[in-house]
């Protein structure tokens, strides 16, 4: 099942509205083009993920659209930091006999 079907199964009724929402331009500080260039704004997907995973995805999504290679490298390093943090959290949960609960931090 894809994410959007899962999203609808969760009872979210705004999925179609979100897909139909017009995208705003780069001069909008809340919705710059590096987030509005997709059919769906990444925040709509990121809200469905645990924090560390959402943060990593955010930096990956925007890495090439913000400027030069230096900006992309910085964003990818930030994504790696969040992925490493999530891996550590999952490894600690496994070592303590806990399941893969969503991250709270």
Residue 84's pLDDT is: 98
pTM for this prediction: 0.63
Domain residues of the chain, as ranges?
33-98
Residue 26's pLDDT is: 46
Task: Place 68 in a pLDDT band, splitting at 50, 70 and 90.
Answer: confident
Give the residue among 61, 89, 85 at the shortest CA–CA distance from 75: 61
Of residues 103 and 75, which shows the higher confidence score? Answer: 75
Tens of pLDDT, residues 16-51: 565 555 544 445 666 667 667 778 888 888 999 999
User: Is the Cβ–Cβ distance between 51 and 104 less than 8 Å?
Assistant: yes
């Amino acid at each position: 099942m894809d994410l959007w079907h899962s999203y609808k199964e969760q009872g979210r009724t705004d999925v179609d509205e979100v897909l139909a929402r017009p995208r705003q331009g780069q001069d909008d500080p809340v919705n710059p083009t590096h987030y509005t260039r997709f059919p769906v704004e990444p925040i709509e997907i990121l809200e469905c993920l645990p924090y560390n995973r959402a943060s990593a995805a955010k930096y990956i999504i925007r890495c090439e659209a913000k400027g030069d290679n230096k900006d992309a490298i910085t964003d990818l390093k930030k994504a790696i930091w969040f992925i490493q943090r999530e891996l550590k959290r999952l490894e600690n949960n496994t070592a303590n006999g806990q399941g893969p609960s969503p991250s709270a931090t």
